[in-house]
Amino acid sequence: MDNNSDTRVMGIDPGSRSCGYGIVDGAGNRLSYVTSGTITPAPGNSASERLNDIYVGILRVIDDYSPSVVSVEEMFFAKNARSAIKLGQSRGIAILAAAQRGIPVSEYAPTRVKLALTGRGRAGKEEIQKMLSYMLGVSEFQSTDESDALAIAICHLSLSKYGLPDGTVGSAGSRRRKKRFTVNDLSA
């Protein structure tokens, strides 16, 4: 990403019961909040109906706000196989929706998102929300799904600013050369 160009990123925190989304504009070191929220299918719907509701909701947000890239949280290892499968289905729906609109997709591990936002890969939800409030001027979030989606979008902007998809600086094999991103890297 050219540091002088504008990029609109849609972050998606997938889930089968609630799917968070957040859209942020980035230009150089400046961030601007665009919108965020959750797509919440009716609880009585079947699994296929919930996935369809999420798919249609994501398409609607994409059509309304025209992001240039979509970033999605990567799968993490779950103890419960059934939950992992449902999360995988929701991730697939999010990736499919972006692909249907011809939008590139980037994926980031949860620890990478936390590291890019706070400088700590093990930051808690409250710490993430405080950093987002500081960076974007948003005082409240409807849910952690919404704030996580915004964090994923900002992670993409932060890491793509350095031209490295995984956010490492230097050779991929050297742990000493990894850079921890801070708020100073993200805002002017």
Task: Give catalytic residues, as residue numbers.
Answer: 13, 73, 145
Q: Are 13 and 114 in contact (CB under 8 A)?
A: no
Q: CB neighbours of 173 closer than 8 A, spacing ≥ 6? A: none
Other beta carbons within 10 Å of 27 = 17
Distances 155 to 57, 60, 91, 128, 148 between C-alpha atoms, Å: 23, 23, 17, 12, 10
Cα separation, 30 vs 46, whole angstroms = 42
DSSP 179: P
- Cα dihedral across residues 85, 100, 17, 13: positive or negative: positive
